[in-house]
Chain A
Amino acid sequence: MPKFGMVIDLNRCIGCRSCAVVCKIHNSLPPGTWWQRVETVGSTEHMVPSGENPDVSETFLPVPCMHCENAPCVKACPVGATWQREDGIVLVDYERCIGCRYCMTACPYGVRQFNWQDSRASFKEGFKAAGFEEDWFKDKEYRYGYPFDHKTGDGRIVYTPKRPKGVVEKCTFCVQYVDKGLLPACVRGCSGNARTFGDLNDPDSDISKILRGRNVFKLLADLGTEPKVFYIAPTRKEGKGGINYGKEL
């Protein structure tokens, strides 16, 4: 039985937000819903450095669901709608979720979102904010996104392009793709080659090798949630003039 995890290399992350966008498109998320966020550490505006000139710095941080081994959201759910599958992926069963939102309070990473409204309403609002005049969104059928419902082996709906109103949703490690042997959209879509996804139980997998060999950290590690999304810490070369120059022959 595999145990899925992800590593994000912050040295390679260029903050382009392509992971956030490809996740949105593939998972058919309407305006206002983001399962993955990429922010700049220490700054409210993306790609603005923190610090004071000239000692400024800029690090980007993509945050998907951590798929915690010791997930607080799973513990908080009163109806067992959110659970961790054997392969480690933490999912929401849209039919069981009663929308109480206890899981959102429990999650320290803020990666869960509640659908206060029908996605059509979200699109309408989004287009209005973007200054489009009419409710042009007359075509009820077209949505971007993987077009098929996806159920787990025991029949629970864990992905649907029709965003259900009144439930909580979050990143699923693209369960609809992983179950077919494909990588999650954000991993395939990262043009910085910053992500690795794979089996933590397999000592020869790429991800296992990285966890053994690199300087890796977890977000909010002291809370004991045991996230399965790891980050390779950004490094810098020490000091200026560190290159030994000599005349090349």
Chain B
Amino acid sequence: MGVSRRNFLKICAVGTAAAAGSRYFRPAQSAVREEGTVEYVRSTCSPNCTGACGFNAMVYKGRIVTLTQAADYPEQEYNPRGCLRGQSTLNLMYGPDRLKQPLIRVGKRGEGKFKAVSWDEALDHVADRLADIMKKYGPESVASMIQVPGTGYVHKGALMRLSSLYEWSVLHAYTMNGDLPAFWPMTFGVQTEELETLEWTNSRYTAIFGSNALVTRVPDAKFISIGRENGAKFIMVDPNYTPTAAKADEWIQINPATDAAMALGIVNVILEEKLYDEEFIKTNTDMPLLVRLDTQKKLMASEVKELSGRAEEYRKKIPEYRDLFVVYNNAARALFIPDPESLNRNFDPALEGEFEVNLVSGQRVKVKTVFQLLKESVSKEYAPEKAARVIAPDASKIKAYTETIRRLAREMATTKPLHIIYGASNYQWFHGDLKGRALALIVVLTGNLGKSGAGISTYAGQYRVRWPLGAWWNFKEKKNKWVTYLLWLNDEYRNGPEFKKYNKETPYPKNGVKAFVYGWGNPFDQHNMSNRMREKAANGELELIVACDFQMSTSCLWSDVVLPGVAWYEKYDLTATVSHPYVQLQQPAVEPLFQCMPEIWYYKEIAHRIARRLGNEEILKQVEEFYPDPKHFRKEEEARKNGTWTLKLAREIAQDASLEAAELMLRTGGEQVEGITVEMLKKGPVRLKIPTPGNRQLMFWEQVELKQPYPPVSYPAPLPKTARFVKSGRIEFYKDEDVFIDLGETLPMHKAPFVDSEHRTAGIKDKYTFALVTRNALYRVHSTHSNNMTMLELQNFKPKVWINPKALEEKRLKEGDLVEVFNNRGKVYGYAVADPGLHHDVLIFEEGWWSRYTRNTSYNTLTYPWIKASHYIYFVPGVWEPTTAWNETAVDVKKAEGVENA
């Protein structure tokens, strides 16, 4: 400033004179002309939140100074998207934790002592160590990890490409994050499905079970309000009163992890009062299939005397991932083999009934339809009174809950379309799959699939590979190898009898995991279950840890080499998400800061340097194809040879190569991206070409409308790998693999939390009576933004523990006390908040705090890597694989003692 009044008036005179003659003069217009040029670049905000929101970066003097939502989605209703985190991302890009140059550890792991080195030194060091480990323990002992590929098909794809080139094992982050709801592959044979969020306004009835969408789906939450404005009903079922519950017409408080009981209570009423869609069930599900009562296995056509001949002929015509089952055809009054490859139905299968069948073996066995078995089990165990007993937080409310279950069942069955949103903090329990199967029953029995506004959705994680990406992700079509995170963490289970009994195909590296090459994630905070990751780092079991990040996170402190990357305003990348079917580009608004490099570059460098050390002639020749076009690789090598190489040149080449990789994936991606080019994407978001009316992202439209068999493909898994989960080609509620029979889980049922996990250890049940739910915070995207100044301000710089006021009193604590949440595995500190909306037996700690904010304690020391046996009878990474159950954690709470500045 420093302008005196006199100068001031002088300037005004000049300004006014200039403005008066201008065509653009408007009242009260600024009299000071803007100095310097301003540029706007549109990119896509890409932390792991599923938002994928377009932002315009205002660039002034080489730096981004503001971020404004681009609001350029063709469907106006989507605009503007964005949220408080995306808007304040500048605090991360230009903040104190921004990485500047490559680092090599000099102190102990976790200490944070590093020396800054040149790129050459860092990359050579990484290549040396990796080549050694690969030679000593085999390449599969190197485990790599990317988080949620949807946020960057190009650069995250580069680490996948590198992993496939050298046949490293990849940790699938989707199951590592516990985001895979296991009921999907079991019931529908898919990874997951979801409606695009715009479709929420087309639902006449939305039921949210344990998803705090107002906090976790900020850019989409408005659709709930808009749905209500259009007259739709919205109910929320949750042990706790969340902001999402506040928006609902009804909040139904239930005991933690009892959703299956409530869902089956609803199913009971639907079956009793015949509110189900008979034709839909007969066409789309396994309900009419016959099940042997003696073996509990589905009756196979080949077993049946009168059908075996036909079955043998038929078998030759169907793919090997299908099988032939049996129904009783009412029309012909005979047993019948439904076609597993088509849902077209010219027969009328019995839904209910018990029959006797002659087998080829000579036996005569009793069989019942799946529907009959379901009816019997549900009417016996889940009458509304019984279900109410399980879910009601208070015995005095059982009668009211009984009525509520009845009423909601009638509402949900008759108000169409119905949409159920099933949230992660709900299914991330040991028996989350049972809850999902039970909830899916409501939607399927009432025919709420394959239509606008109808279905069941789970939105956790921007994992979705929306079209085939193999041309980039797999180096010359080499397949990725995999290692399951929970098996890595839980050695004793892996070596135990249950795993050996049921494991058929889940791989594990022969010599274990010796090197960990990870990027875009913070596993030493976020995945440090029972403190095991840090232990493996501290005791040397992990011989090498290589980090890729743009900030010095906790995990970087635990790494041996830190390679500085860039955020989404410094590079090109391709994004997609589950929340909507738009393909978008990330674009560089500014040069990568300091010596940071787009990640594709250093993974290419590592590929090259390892090749030189391995002495494999073939790979050495091929490695120039790491970038999509060898000319890029050669150009950089030329520059190195004749001394003209600079970081700037390498960056330019890397940015070009990134665009090429994006083009490659679009060109080879098939129908859904037909005709979509990078040039189009530079102008704005482009909708995928989904073969549904209006290209809308609906679920199972092709199955319900076009009668194609289940499942649709879940990229990148080849169809045979997932279709075998539902061999009948239909939605399957009856699972008859051995493990399901052993567990008694052939049909959806309710199983209480902790009984099969925590309480198996003596004494735990009485000692730790709270369930710890580590919900997602408004102020972070998992642990991104944990160090964002503005977000910290809004939280008063304090990690908190939310407790029911009565429980707080019982524990003799006051609001504002620094408390310790603990169990026999670990502890975490937070400041107590009394929350009258909380269930008495639930404690809430918000995940994502870097441990430096919790005085080096961590909420994940409290969790445990439980493994459910039914989750590894097949292995399709990220689709059928043991998935993490964060909330299966029993804890207690007390006042924190001996802590400074409490």
B794 CB contacts on chain A under 8 angstroms: 17, 20-21, 46
A87 vs chain B, min Cβ distance (A): 7
For window 48-73 of B, CB contacts with A under 8 Å fall at: 53, 58, 60-61, 63, 65-69, 71
Beta-carbon contact of B31 and A25 below 8 Å: no
Tally of B interface residues using CB under 8 Å: 89
Beta-carbon contact of A189 and B28 below 8 Å: no
For window 773-801 of B, CB contacts with A under 8 Å fall at: 778, 787, 789-790, 792-794, 797, 800
For window 40-57 of A, CB contacts with B under 8 Å fall at: 45-54, 56-57
- Residue ID in chain A nearest B81 by CB atoms: A191
Most buried by A among B12, B246, B247: B246
Choose from A52, A94, A194 the contact partner of B1 (Cβ within 8 Å). A94
- Interface status of B82 (Cβ within 8 A of chain A): yes
- Interface status of A198 (Cβ within 8 A of chain B): no
- Residue ID in chain A nearest B64 by CB atoms: A144
Beta-carbon contact of B11 and A26 below 8 Å: no
Choose from B82, B275, B792 the contact partner of A18 (Cβ within 8 Å). B82
Stretch at the interface among A72-80, A106-114, A234-242: A234-242
A153 CB contacts on chain B under 8 angstroms: 16, 27-31
Q: How far is the CA of A22 from the CA of B827 in the complex (A)?
A: 35
- Interface status of A83 (Cβ within 8 A of chain B): no
- Interface status of A59 (Cβ within 8 A of chain B): yes
Beta-carbon contact of B787 and A130 below 8 Å: yes
Q: How far is the CA of A12 from the CA of B223 in the complex (A)?
A: 9
B591 vs chain A, min Cβ distance (A): 15
B873 vs chain A, min Cβ distance (A): 39
A151 CB contacts on chain B under 8 angstroms: 30-32
A11 CB contacts on chain B under 8 angstroms: 225, 228-229
A131 CB contacts on chain B under 8 angstroms: 797, 852-853
Contact with A along B73-109 (1 / 0, CB 8 A): 0000000111110011011001010000000000000
- Interface status of B485 (Cβ within 8 A of chain A): no
Beta-carbon contact of A95 and B221 below 8 Å: no
Beta-carbon contact of B66 and A146 below 8 Å: yes
B334 CB contacts on chain A under 8 angstroms: none
Q: How far is the CA of A185 from the CA of B740 in the complex (A)?
A: 55
Beta-carbon contact of B253 and A54 below 8 Å: yes
Q: How far is the CA of A185 from the CA of B1 in the complex (A)?
A: 24
Q: How far is the CA of A38 from the CA of B81 in the complex (A)?
A: 19
If A48-B835, A142-B63 touch, whether A191 touches B243 (CB-CB below 8 Å) is no
- Residue ID in chain A nearest B232 by CB atoms: A243
- Interface status of B757 (Cβ within 8 A of chain A): no
- Residue ID in chain A nearest B93 by CB atoms: A144
A45 CB contacts on chain B under 8 angstroms: 800, 833, 835
Beta-carbon contact of B778 and A129 below 8 Å: no
Query: How many CB-defined contacts (below 8 Å) exist between A and B?
Result: 226
If A131-B853, A191-B222, A240-B250 touch, whether A18 touches B87 (CB-CB below 8 Å) is yes
Beta-carbon contact of B84 and A22 below 8 Å: yes
Q: How far is the CA of A243 from the CA of B407 in the complex (A)?
A: 10
Beta-carbon contact of A127 and B789 below 8 Å: yes
A248 vs chain B, min Cβ distance (A): 5
Q: How far is the CA of A179 from the CA of B410 in the complex (A)?
A: 55
Contact with B along A6-27 (1 / 0, CB 8 A): 0000011011111011101110
- Interface status of B218 (Cβ within 8 A of chain A): yes
A232 vs chain B, min Cβ distance (A): 11
If A47-B215, A246-B414 touch, whether A53 touches B68 (CB-CB below 8 Å) is no
Beta-carbon contact of B1 and A48 below 8 Å: no
Q: How far is the CA of A192 from the CA of B241 in the complex (A)?
A: 20
For window 267-287 of B, CB contacts with A under 8 Å fall at: 275
Beta-carbon contact of B27 and A1 below 8 Å: yes
Choose from A18, A86, A180 the contact partner of B218 (Cβ within 8 Å). A18
B852 CB contacts on chain A under 8 angstroms: 131
- Residue ID in chain A nearest B212 by CB atoms: A47
B61 CB contacts on chain A under 8 angstroms: 147
Beta-carbon contact of B30 and A16 below 8 Å: no
Choose from A14, A21, A58 the contact partner of B87 (Cβ within 8 Å). A21
If A191-B218, A243-B233 touch, whether A59 touches B246 (CB-CB below 8 Å) is yes
If A18-B84, A243-B233 touch, whether A95 touches B66 (CB-CB below 8 Å) is no
B218 CB contacts on chain A under 8 angstroms: 14, 16, 18, 191
Beta-carbon contact of A155 and B11 below 8 Å: yes
- Residue ID in chain B nearest A178 by CB atoms: B28
If A95-B1, A179-B29, A189-B82 touch, whether A16 touches B778 (CB-CB below 8 Å) is yes
For window 139-174 of A, CB contacts with B under 8 Å fall at: 142-155, 157, 160, 162, 164
Beta-carbon contact of B836 and A49 below 8 Å: yes
A129 CB contacts on chain B under 8 angstroms: 792, 797
If A20-B84, A95-B1, A189-B82 touch, whether A12 touches B68 (CB-CB below 8 Å) is no
For window 184-223 of A, CB contacts with B under 8 Å fall at: 185, 188-194
Q: How far is the CA of A155 from the CA of B32 in the complex (A)?
A: 8
Choose from A56, A142, A176, A245 the contact partner of B410 (Cβ within 8 Å). A245
B71 CB contacts on chain A under 8 angstroms: 188
Beta-carbon contact of A142 and B1 below 8 Å: no
If A14-B243, A49-B241 touch, whether A148 touches B215 (CB-CB below 8 Å) is no
A246 CB contacts on chain B under 8 angstroms: 414
Q: How far is the CA of A153 from the CA of B32 in the complex (A)?
A: 9
Secondary structure at the B interface, as helix, strand, loop or mixed, is mixed
If A18-B83, A53-B836, A143-B65 touch, whether A155 touches B233 (CB-CB below 8 Å) is no
- Residue ID in chain A nearest B414 by CB atoms: A245
If A21-B790, A95-B8 touch, whether A132 touches B1 (CB-CB below 8 Å) is no
Secondary structure at the A interface, as helix, strand, loop or mixed, is loop
- Residue ID in chain A nearest B28 by CB atoms: A153
Q: How far is the CA of A24 from the CA of B67 in the complex (A)?
A: 11
- Interface status of B411 (Cβ within 8 A of chain A): yes
Beta-carbon contact of B836 and A189 below 8 Å: no
B692 vs chain A, min Cβ distance (A): 22
A15 CB contacts on chain B under 8 angstroms: 214, 243
B837 CB contacts on chain A under 8 angstroms: 48-49, 53, 56, 58
- Interface status of B672 (Cβ within 8 A of chain A): no
Q: How far is the CA of A201 from the CA of B614 in the complex (A)?
A: 76
- Interface status of A224 (Cβ within 8 A of chain B): no
- Interface status of B744 (Cβ within 8 A of chain A): no
Beta-carbon contact of A50 and B836 below 8 Å: yes
B26 CB contacts on chain A under 8 angstroms: 179
A20 CB contacts on chain B under 8 angstroms: 84, 794
Beta-carbon contact of A47 and B243 below 8 Å: yes
For window 100-143 of A, CB contacts with B under 8 Å fall at: 126-127, 129-132, 134, 136, 142-143
B826 vs chain A, min Cβ distance (A): 21
B847 vs chain A, min Cβ distance (A): 16
B249 CB contacts on chain A under 8 angstroms: 236-237
If A25-B66, A191-B82, A243-B411 touch, whether A130 touches B789 (CB-CB below 8 Å) is yes
Beta-carbon contact of B67 and A25 below 8 Å: yes
A89 vs chain B, min Cβ distance (A): 9
Beta-carbon contact of A192 and B225 below 8 Å: yes
B389 CB contacts on chain A under 8 angstroms: none
A152 CB contacts on chain B under 8 angstroms: 28, 30-31
B250 CB contacts on chain A under 8 angstroms: 240
Most buried by A among B11, B88, B404, B787: B88
- Residue ID in chain A nearest B220 by CB atoms: A191
- Interface status of B679 (Cβ within 8 A of chain A): no
A99 CB contacts on chain B under 8 angstroms: none
A9 vs chain B, min Cβ distance (A): 8
11 intermolecular pairs with C-beta atoms under 8 Å apart = A22-B87, A24-B790, A25-B67, A45-B835, A127-B789, A151-B32, A160-B1, A191-B69, A192-B222, A246-B414, A248-B415
Residues of A participating in the B interface, judged by any CB pair closer than 8 Å:
1, 11-12, 14-18, 20-22, 24-26, 31-32, 45-54, 56-60, 85-87, 94-95, 126-127, 129-132, 134, 136, 142-155, 157, 160, 162, 164, 176, 179-180, 185, 188-194, 236-237, 240-241, 243, 245-248
- Nearest 9 pairs between A and B by C-beta? A58-B246, A155-B12, A21-B84, A18-B84, A49-B837, A153-B28, A136-B96, A245-B414, A22-B87
